[in-house]
């Protein structure tokens, strides 16, 4: 419920503070008095974008503040989700600075416009003449039916699952596309992989093969040098080992004459041991080395394969070839196993579709179940509003595709007169008829769900006095369970209000100001009389005004 509205430095308003209570509140005033300014200010505090033209004094900031009682609106979760302090009396404030910047606050916590707008949608529904066009919008028609059918929770669950289905379906499409592209490359990748797997790829293999190649390719020279080295060491006359034996004898004889000679002897002994070991190693290598043209050819073949692969894949290291082999193996494996992956994803998609189909069936059943009652109530209310022949044709038909709110197609048609063909609301209903239909829909909705505060902006435009009297009664009846505002030019509607406010202009110091005041019982008589007969009050107009109020 809107408890109060405060507007400062907005359009023609210097400062305005108005308090409201529950029930039916009517707002009247001459054309141009500023009722639209009041609505504009309210729209700003509910999240509408603003500009500097909103400021009355461009050197001062504009401040609009609305106090709402929200205890009945079940908004605690909204406040938690947006990290806001929940208060049963919540204050929304909007500031427009001279710089053009705008700030918004909920219970003194700064928020962006999207959060402000989302909260505003839950607090007050401002219905203007332009919004009557929504009646012809299929989405709005679904919204009405789903509201009556209490499909809110089901539709939220459906929306979440629908997002998941689209995500899984997109993943499936990518897999199928990858399969089609993979088939083209599979044979080539398989060939590359086989080629790499046939190569002796391991760390250090290239150096190892190159060393082996050098030995095999120069085996005769190696054998010759080994033989020569062996001979130099073993010759009985001038062999190094023979000479070292004599040297050992000399150093041994010297060892007893002091530590320096003893150390020298140790060194000679070590040299002898090392040279003797070299002699043995030369012998082993000489016996081991042999010419093998076959092995040389095999080594050369492996080397050429590795060189060719390096050139083919534009790499310098065997490690890079190993990495490329692993990457190709992954591609080949993915292509070979993609059918199984696709099948698994298809099962996931089918499961999601089945779940959504079940939800859609429940949603559709509830929609169809509420239609007869909606049709009957709308036609009854419209009959009372001077449209006794008004008939609705509302049908729900299932389609094959999932859309944002299920799988249903809605046919919502109308005929205002007997014998007239059914047609879309926007095409066959006049402006006055649309206003009455909208009021009827709001009245029906009010019985089924706890609507926020409703503000009707001249919904009675284009209707006669007799019908407007009934429209006022319907709004008065709605106000028994919710707060209703009506901005009206019709005295019949204005007379039904529990509370009556007047918007007017006042000139002060050659400056025009928009004001708003609550009317007393006597003031209401005068206001209604002026609405009936103009500024020159006649006895009959005053009597008629009193009659309306009574």
What is the residue-level pLDDT of the chain in tens, covering all 550 positions?
999 999 999 888 889 999 999 999 999 988 877 788 888 888 889 888 877 677 888 888 999 999 999 988 889 999 999 999 999 999 999 998 888 888 999 999 999 999 999 999 889 988 876 667 678 888 889 988 998 999 989 999 999 999 999 999 999 999 888 787 777 776 778 788 888 888 888 888 888 888 778 777 878 787 878 788 877 887 766 778 888 888 888 888 888 888 888 899 889 889 888 888 888 888 787 777 777 788 788 878 888 888 888 888 888 888 888 888 888 888 877 777 778 888 999 999 999 999 999 999 999 999 999 999 999 999 999 999 989 999 999 999 999 999 999 999 999 999 988 888 899 888 888 877 888 888 898 888 887 767 778 999 888 777 777 888 899 999 999 998 889 999 998 999 999 999 999 999 988 888 888 899 999 999 999 999 999 888 888 889 999 999 999 8
Q: Strands 453-457, 484-487: parallel, antiparallel or unpaired by DSSP?
A: parallel
Query: 1-128+450-519: what fold?
Result: Rossmann fold (3.40.50)
Q: Pick from 147, 126, 134, 28: which is nearest to 484 by CA?
A: 126
Other C-beta atoms lying within 10 Å of the C-beta of residue 79: 18
- Give 275: exposed, middle or buried? Use CB within 10 Å, 0-12, 13-18, 19+: middle
Task: Note whether 420 and 392 are within 8 A (CB).
Answer: no
Alpha-carbon distance of 39 to 64, in angstroms, equals 12
Task: Note whether 474 and 443 are within 8 A (CB).
Answer: yes
Q: Pick from 341, 340, 339, 330: which is nearest to 190 by CA?
A: 330
Distances (CA, A) of 365 to 320, 369, 390, 394: 63, 6, 26, 14
Q: Which helix (H) or strand (E) holds 478?
A: helix 465-478
Torsions phi, psi for 174 (to 5 deg): -65, -40
Q: Pick from 365, 353, 463, 348: which is nearest to 408 by CA?
A: 365
Q: Pick from 41, 46, 51, 53: which is nearest to 13 by CA?
A: 41
Task: Note whether 9 and 50 are within 8 A (CB).
Answer: no
Question: What's the confidence (pLDDT) of residue 80?
Answer: 93
Strands, E assignment, 377-465: 391-403, 406-415, 423-424, 453-457
Alpha-carbon distance of 197 to 188, in angstroms, equals 14
Distances (CA, A) of 159 to 122, 148, 405: 20, 19, 7
**Every domain range in the chain assigned CATH 3.40.50.300:** 1-128+450-519
- To the question of pTM greater than 0.85 for the whole model, the response is no
Q: Which helix (H) or strand (E) holds 361?
A: helix 318-384
Question: What's the confidence (pLDDT) of residue 25?
Answer: 95
Question: What's the confidence (pLDDT) of residue 108?
Answer: 93
């Amino acid at each position: 419920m809107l408890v109060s509205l405060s507007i400062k430095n907005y359009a023609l308003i210097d400062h305005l503070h108005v308090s409201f209570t529950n029930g039916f509140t009517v707002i009247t005033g001459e054309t141009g008095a500023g009722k639209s300014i009041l609505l504009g200010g309210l729209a700003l505090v509910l999240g509408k974008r603003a500009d500097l033209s909103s400021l009355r004094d461009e050197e001062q900031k504009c401040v609009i503040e609305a106090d709402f009682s929200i205890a009945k609106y079940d908004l605690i979760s909204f406040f938690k989700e947006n990290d806001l302090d929940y208060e049963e009396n919540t204050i929304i404030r909007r500031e427009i600075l001279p710089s053009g910047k705008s700030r918004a606050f909920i219970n003194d916590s700064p928020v962006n416009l999207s959060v402000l707008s989302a909260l505003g949608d839950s607090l007050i529904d401002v219905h203007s003449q332009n919004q009557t066009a929504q009646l012809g919008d299929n989405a709005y028609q679904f919204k009405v039916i789903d509201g009556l059918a209490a499909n809110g929770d089901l539709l939220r669950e459906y929306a979440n699952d629908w997002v998941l289905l689209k995500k899984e379906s997109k993943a499936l499409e990518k897999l199928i596309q990858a399969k089609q592209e993979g088939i083209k490359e599979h044979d080539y990748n398989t060939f590359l992989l086989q080629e790499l797997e046939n190569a002796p790829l391991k760390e250090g293999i290239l150096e190892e093969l190159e060393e082996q190649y050098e030995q095999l390719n120069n085996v005769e020279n190696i054998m010759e040098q080994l033989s020569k080295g062996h001979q130099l060491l073993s010759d009985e006359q001038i062999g190094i080992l023979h000479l070292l034996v004599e040297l050992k004898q000399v150093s041994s004889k010297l060892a007893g004459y002091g530590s320096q000679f003893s150390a020298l002897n140790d060194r000679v002994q070590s040299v002898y041991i090392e040279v003797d070991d070299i002699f043995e190693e030369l012998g082993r290598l000489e016996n081991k080395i042999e010419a093998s043209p076959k092995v040389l050819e095999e080594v050369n073949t492996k080397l050429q394969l590795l060189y060719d692969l390096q050139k083919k894949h534009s790499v310098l290291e065997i490690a890079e070839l190993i990495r490329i082999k692993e990457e190709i193996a992954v591609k080949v494996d993915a292509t070979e196993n993609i059918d199984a992956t696709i099948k698994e994803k298809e099962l996931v998609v089918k499961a999601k579709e089945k779940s959504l189909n079940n939800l859609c069936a429940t949603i559709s059943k509830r929609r169809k179940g509420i239609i007869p009652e909606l049709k009957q109530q709308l036609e009854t209310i419209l009959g009372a509003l001077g449209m006794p022949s008004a008939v609705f044709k509302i049908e729900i038909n299932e389609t094959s595709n999932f859309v944002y709110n299920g799988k249903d197609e809605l046919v919502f048609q109308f005929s205002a007169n007997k014998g007239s063909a059914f047609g879309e609301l926007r095409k066959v209903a006049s402006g006055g008829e649309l206003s009455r239909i909208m009021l009827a829909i709001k009245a029906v909705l009010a019985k089924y769900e706890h609507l926020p505060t409703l503000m009707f902006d001249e919904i009675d435009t284009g209707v006669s006095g007799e019908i407007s009297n009934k429209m006022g009664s319907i709004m008065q009846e709605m106000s028994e369970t919710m707060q209703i505002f009506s901005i009206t030019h019709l005295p019949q509607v204005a007379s039904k209000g529990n509370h009556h406010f007047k918007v007017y202009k006042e000139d002060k110091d050659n400056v025009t100001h928009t004001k708003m005041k609550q009317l007393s019982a006597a003031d209401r008589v005068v206001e209604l009389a002026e609405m009936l007969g103009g500024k020159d009050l006649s006895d009959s107009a005053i009597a008629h005004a009193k009659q309306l109020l009574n």
